[in-house]
Structure 1
Amino acid sequence: MPEPGAPRLTPQGVPYADLKHFVNADDQHLFCRYWEPEGPPRALVFIAHGAGEHSGPYDEIGQTLQEQSLLVFAHDHVGHGQSEGDRMNVKDFQVFVRDSLQHIDLMKGRYPNLPIFIIGHSMGGAISILTACERPSDFAGVALIAPMVRMNPDSATPFKVFLAKMANHIVPSLCLGSIKSKWISRDQKTVEEYDSDELNHHGGMRVSFAMQLLGATERIEREIPAIRWPFLILHGDVDKLCDIGGSQMMFDQALSTDKKIKVFDGAYHALHHELPETTASVLKELTSWISERLSTSPSQSS
């Protein structure tokens, strides 16, 4: 912790006083981004980014929605990007959900009568699902891009989970393999940008963090049968980082009457940074899906 009275700095050494941020319940400063339309916004859209990355790569989504008169906002999760916290480590996955609700409440305070949407990618998809489950009547819809609904079958066999749980008791700081950037996108420029982005976490994932992710997916699986809020799922069928089977399970089992899943043939994990035609299709899906729900009268969407 900094000395009393000393300015709080980002992990990169920038004073938070010079940046947009909020302070969470653990007195940690979280860096924020906002994409505000020129005129009055029609709705609020919160973006939850994935594990090991930050809110910066969502600029294209933010700008695209901003042009539709939507006010888009995001923050770097604890331990990510320009926010405080131990890198890619968290005491409880619920911290991500709690912080998301705090940021959403801050924006609701500024714009009390606007509908609210959430967009979540990868781990951010898990955060989005659990955030909406805590306040099911608060959100006009949740859009999920390759969400982490369940762990990949290859990495979460019963034996591997058993070993990880044992390791978590003995050496929780033990590092597992890092995210393989080649599976993020078929677009080589995207992979190179990911590898060179100093705000991304390029080290291994701790066993303790993997256990938090596993716990989140187990909680989601319990919540899915009770989900009734509107959602859109976009997933690539060659995604090796988040299991498409989890997305299909959510679509099949959720009680929502307003739900849609779209599968992109041959696409990898970061659909919003994929080959140009895929990215364009994803942006179109997001904008049209949100716009359609804004044109629905409140009596129809309740």
Structure 2
Amino acid sequence: MQHQEGHFQGINKTPLYFQCWTAVNPKGLVMVVHGYGEHSGRYQNVVDALVPEGYGVWALDHRGHGRSEGRRCYVNRFTDFLKDLEIFEEKAREAHPELPVHVIGHSMGSLIANHYVASRRKQNYRSLTLSGTGAAPGPAIPSAVILLARLLSAVTPKLSLPSGVDPAFISHDPQVVDAYVNDPLVENKVTARLACEMMWALPGMITAAQRLTVPTMMQIGDEDESFHPDSWDRLFSAIAVDDKVFKKYAGCRHEVYNEIKKELPLADLKDWINRHQQSELHSNIPEPTFG
């Protein structure tokens, strides 16, 4: 396994951190889009599952997250994440122009990935995986924080608010929770603007899913409280392609890849990507369609 890290310029010339783990002779690329408040370094279990299968795993830290520059957990517009991801994808494709691409998005990253892939004018991806996803906020997200963020976003958009989220909601594994709490790159606050932008993106998940042309898998723990359970089925039903799968894992919380029972979600992920590695690829990259 070869590991590389570095920086690239996102929109507005913001330096963004990325890292990639690559098999010696990779057969495909997997872009990982991480969630709110975390960073690319928390996906080692995904890396360990996919690189031995012959993939290169590429992951960036979103602006204001991890080792990337920018005000912590702030974004001016949700579409800034999509524009950064497009630049990152171009970098990954330049390194391996002959390889097909798969996309994994977790939590806030599932919002980004779903909107992003749906906005492409042609199918450029072998598969899309949405982990810890949904289309409406769940009980883990305090309604008071959402209300306060909406009130303050237009006046003081960069104001940081406590997220109010209990870290234990991510996993049953106490070591995972402890590492999350003590990780200096993890943020437990959210700016008013980012909170509002995520709330803006949530209902759009349904519309985006209706435009998908890529085989799509949803992976959700049945104890995940980050998104409302009713929205899981609505989102899955909205996915326009016939080749879609909804995997729900008993006894798992928000981060199924970091759960005590992580073996099954990781095996399903590996099998899904391997199966679609052999499918037809449309290699032309369209012009960006982000506002």
TM-score (norm 2): 0.88
Given candidates 161, 172, 195, the residue that maps to 2:181 is 195
Deviation at 1:107, TM superposition (A): 1.5
Residues of 1 paired with 2:41 and 2:244: CA distance? 28
Could you tell me which residue of structure 2 aligns to residue 280 of structure 1? 263
Residues of 2 paired with 1:20 and 1:227: CA distance? 31
Quick one: which amino acid aligns to residue 127 of structure 1? Answer: I
Give the direction of change, closer, same or farther, for the CA distance of 1:84–1:160 in structure 2 (3 Å limit).
closer
- What's the CA shift string for 1:25-47, capped at 9, x where partnerless? 211111111111012x1111000
> Does the alignment pair 1:52 with 2:32?
no
> Does the alignment pair 1:115 with 2:91?
no
Deviation at 1:246, TM superposition (A): 2.7
Judge which range, 119-128 or 205-214, deviates more: 205-214
Given candidates 168, 181, 187, the residue that maps to 2:167 is 181
Residues of 2 paired with 1:54 and 1:279: CA distance? 19
Local SS of the residue matching 1:245 = helix
Could you tell me which residue of structure 1 aligns to residue 289 of structure 2? none
Mapped contact 1:23–1:30 kept (Cα < 8 A): yes
Residues of 2 paired with 1:133 and 1:156: CA distance? 29
Quick one: which amino acid aligns to residue 184 of structure 2? Answer: E
Quick one: which amino acid aligns to residue 275 of structure 2? Answer: E
Deviation at 1:52, TM superposition (A): 0.3
Deviation at 1:189, TM superposition (A): 0.7
Could you tell me which residue of structure 1 aligns to residue 8 of structure 2? 22
TM-score (norm 1): 0.85
Residues of 2 paired with 1:154 and 1:195: CA distance? 16
Given candidates 254, 259, 279, the residue that maps to 2:239 is 254
Determine which structure has more spread, i.e. the larger CA radius of gyration: 1
Deviation at 1:149, TM superposition (A): 3.1
Listed as ranges, the matches of 1:70-149 within 5 Å are 70-135=55-120, 136-149=122-135
Give the direction of change, closer, same or farther, for the CA distance of 1:296–1:209 in structure 2 (3 Å limit).
closer
Quick one: which amino acid aligns to residue 75 of structure 1? Answer: L
Quick one: which amino acid aligns to residue 109 of structure 1? Answer: E
Give the direction of change, closer, same or farther, for the CA distance of 1:297–1:24 in structure 2 (3 Å limit).
closer
Residues of 2 paired with 1:65 and 1:85: CA distance? 30
**Structure 2, unpaired ranges of 5+:** 283-291
Residue-pair matches, total: 277
Quick one: which amino acid aligns to residue 45 of structure 2? Answer: E
Judge which range, 71-80 or 104-113, deviates more: 104-113
Judge which range, 146-155 or 97-106, deviates more: 146-155
Deviation at 1:243, TM superposition (A): 2.9
Give the direction of change, closer, same or farther, for the CA distance of 1:32–1:163 in structure 2 (3 Å limit).
closer
Give the direction of change, closer, same or farther, for the CA distance of 1:221–1:73 in structure 2 (3 Å limit).
same
- What's the CA shift string for 1:129-161, capped at 9, x where partnerless? 01101215111110111125332268587x986
Deviation at 1:97, TM superposition (A): 1.0
> Does the alignment pair 1:295 with 2:278?
yes
Give the direction of change, closer, same or farther, for the CA distance of 1:280–1:215 in structure 2 (3 Å limit).
same
Residues of 2 paired with 1:164 and 1:61: CA distance? 33
Could you tell me which residue of structure 1 aligns to residue 285 of structure 2? none
Could you tell me which residue of structure 2 aligns to residue 35 of structure 1? 21
Could you tell me which residue of structure 2 aligns to residue 7 of structure 1? none
Deviation at 1:112, TM superposition (A): 1.9
Could you tell me which residue of structure 1 aligns to residue 215 of structure 2? 230
Deviation at 1:125, TM superposition (A): 0.7
Mapped contact 1:142–1:231 kept (Cα < 8 A): yes
Deviation at 1:113, TM superposition (A): 2.5
Quick one: which amino acid aligns to residue 143 of structure 1? Answer: T
Give the direction of change, closer, same or farther, for the CA distance of 1:71–1:160 in structure 2 (3 Å limit).
closer
Local SS of the residue matching 1:20 = strand
Could you tell me which residue of structure 1 aligns to residue 153 of structure 2? 168
